[in-house]
Amino acid sequence: MEIDTVRQQILEAAEARFSVYGYQKTTMAELAGDCTMSAANLYRYFDNKLDIGAALAKQSMLENEALLEQIVNDGMLSASEKLIAFTRKQLHYTYHYFESAPRLAELVEVITAQRPDVIAAHRHNKLTLLKQLLLAGQAAGAFTFDDVDDTSDAIHSATLLFYFPLTMSLYPLAIMEDKVVHVCQLLLKGLSPTV
Amino acid sequence: MEIDTVRQQILEAAEARFSVYGYQKTTMAELAGDCTMSAANLYRYFDNKLDIGAALAKQSMLENEALLEQIVNDGMLSASEKLIAFTRKQLHYTYHYFESAPRLAELVEVITAQRPDVIAAHRHNKLTLLKQLLLAGQAAGAFTFDDVDDTSDAIHSATLLFYFPLTMSLYPLAIMEDKVVHVCQLLLKGLSPTV
DNA sequence: ATAGTGAATATTTAATTTATTGTTCATTAT
DNA sequence: ATAATGAACAATAAATTAAATATTCACTAT
């Protein structure tokens, strides 16, 4: 049996349990039971419970990044459409994640506090994708800007409302959708070459 | 003795205690002692402890709004400078408030959960000021936009990072200052009339 | 060697009890 | 009437105890 196969099996059991009962209420014994092994044996695959949570969070963030990458590389979309789709995708991912599995908010909380590096890596990967998007738009003549790092950072800051977990409860999804459009329209005007 | 004078005295005692010890750790008996009266007598001026907290929060938000209003009405500043100053003022107010009195974050948390109307009113007042700022800029020929409500709402959403209490711990103040400038520059490009 | 376990131990969490504190009210002073 | 209080009561929070749970490890099976 491959070691990574077992690790993946554990992560799947963890995702199922964490989604329904939350991180804290899930015991190592339960995860072990789901994988038909003893609790002690889990420690041959992960150092501790927090590492299981961190691995799960990392995996989920990579999935999200893959979806965003698809948008950046989509040949059918204009640069402007990509920025809106990019922002809307983040909103939907974060929103639906917590709507379908509100208990997962607890995992995010724990990881944010105990493993900030995992969150920082995700932020870095998103900024890289955003830079790609901007540079492609610039090359196509759709965008103009001075500094690509400053600009991607500014867009990331300005769209915080749409991916920050704690802001998901501020407005219902329909209102958030409107806000995505209005914010992006304003940002896009700022990016458009003055005719 | 005026009833409002006593109310104000109570609020001042509450501000001093809440800042240092936090909302929860401050007892009605302590507030009463500070005002040289009995705990029971406090209830002749406020219905309950939460109302004291809400009145204090409301007062502090009104102070903040007054500072923002000064910026909007400042004859020395251009429309663009006003938008940057407006955003930076929110950052400094929120940031320093929690830096100098971190225990007050607890009060904000309680009021947000128990008296969302107080927060909503503040949001509404800020949006009104932002609309004034935008309309003045439009009249002066500095800004162009389609819908003033959509636009002020978009700017408010895009600058969330700079006034949302829970985001104050994301970055140090110096970094936040840079971000204010970069975000506002991008927004201002989006507002500027295409030449 | 590699995969796995049950039992022991050290942390956390939950339940229970005790102490504080928020709130009311009958009563007193002005 | 208005302002204020102390004592009573209900609701919260703190402290304590008991129970679960995470983690380790010596040991077994393959």
Q: Which superfamily does B1-46 belong to?
A: Homeodomain-like (1.10.10.60)
Distance (Å, rounded) from C-alpha B46 to C-alpha B34?
16
Q: Which two tokens stand for residue A87?
A: 């922002």
pLDDT at A27: 97
pLDDT of B68 strictly over 90: yes
Q: What pLDDT score does A102 carry?
A: 83
Q: Where are the domains of chain A?
A: 1-46, 57-191
First vs last C-alpha separation in chain A: 63
Separation CA A1–CA A36 (nearest Å): 14
Check B160 against A160: CB less than 8 A apart: yes
Q: Two tokens at B21?
A: 């010890």
Strand C–CB A41 distance below 7 A = yes
Show the tokens assigned to A111: 């990881």
State both tokens at A52: 């299981």
Look up residue B169 and give its DSSP letter. Answer: T
Query: Angle at Cα B23 formed by Cα B19 and Cα B25, nearest 5°?
Result: 100
d(CA B128, CA A37): 61
- Rounded mean pLDDT of B163-180? 95
Kindly report the CATH number that applies to the domain delimited by B57-191. Answer: 1.10.357.10
Q: What is the pLDDT of residue A120?
A: 97
DSSP assignment, residue B193? P
Task: Provide the pLDDT for residue A105.
Answer: 87
Q: B7 falls in which pLDDT band (50, 70, 90)?
A: very high
What is the arithmetic mean of pLDDT over B22-39? 96
Report residue A141 as tokens. Answer: 């003549």
> What is the nearest nucleotide to A43, using C1' and CA?
D23
Task: Reply yes or no on whether the pLDDT at B195 is more than 60.
Answer: no
The list of chain A residues with pLDDT below 70 reads 195
Of B167, B190, B194, the CB nearest to A186: B190
Residue A178, classed as helix, strand or coil, is helix
Partner B, chain A 160-189, Cβ-Cβ below 8 Å: 160-161, 164, 166-167, 179, 182-183, 185-189
Partner B, chain A 134-163, Cβ-Cβ below 8 Å:
150-151, 153-155, 157-161
Q: What is the mean pLDDT of residues B160-180?
A: 96
Torsion angle of C-alpha atoms A160, A165, A171, A172, degrees rounded to 10: 120
Residue A97: predicted pLDDT: 86
Nucleotides of D under 7 A from a protein CB: 3-7, 13-14, 20-26
Distance of alpha carbon B140 from alpha carbon B41, whole angstroms:
55
Per-residue confidence (pLDDT) for residue B10, from 0 to 100: 97
Tokens of A148: 């690509």
| Contact of A67 with A93, CB cutoff 8 Å | yes
DSSP code, position A167: G
Residue with tokens 């959509």: B150
Residues with CB under 7 A from strand D: A 26-29, 39-40, 43, 47-50; B 1, 3, 6, 24-25, 32, 36-41, 44
CA distance A102 to A72: 29
Identify whether the C-beta of residue B52 lies closer than 8 Å to the C-beta of residue B10: yes
Q: What is the pLDDT of residues B110-164, one digit of tens each?
A: 999 999 999 999 999 999 999 999 999 999 999 999 999 999 999 999 999 999 9
Measured to protein CB atoms, the chain C nucleotides within 7 Å are 3-7, 13-14, 20-26
Residues of A with Cβ-Cβ distance to B186 under 8 angstroms: 151, 154-155, 158, 187, 190-191
Q: Compute CA distances B59 → A49, A176, B92, whole Å.
A: 45, 29, 18
Apex A93 CA angle, A114 and A108, nearest 5: 15
Residue nearest C25 (alpha carbon to C1'):
B40
Nearest CA in chain B to A149: B182
- Which pLDDT value is given to residue A195? 52
Average pLDDT over residues B38-44: 96
User: Nearest-CA distance from B82 to chain A in Å?
Assistant: 18
| pLDDT-wise least confident of B29-43, B95-109, B125-139 | B95-109
Please give the mean pLDDT across all residues of chain B: 96
Report percent pLDDT > 70 for chain A.
Answer: 99
A10 and A46 Cβ atoms separated by less than 8 Å: yes
- DSSP code of B171? S
pLDDT value at residue A194: 78
Cβ atoms < 10 Å from Cβ of A99: 11
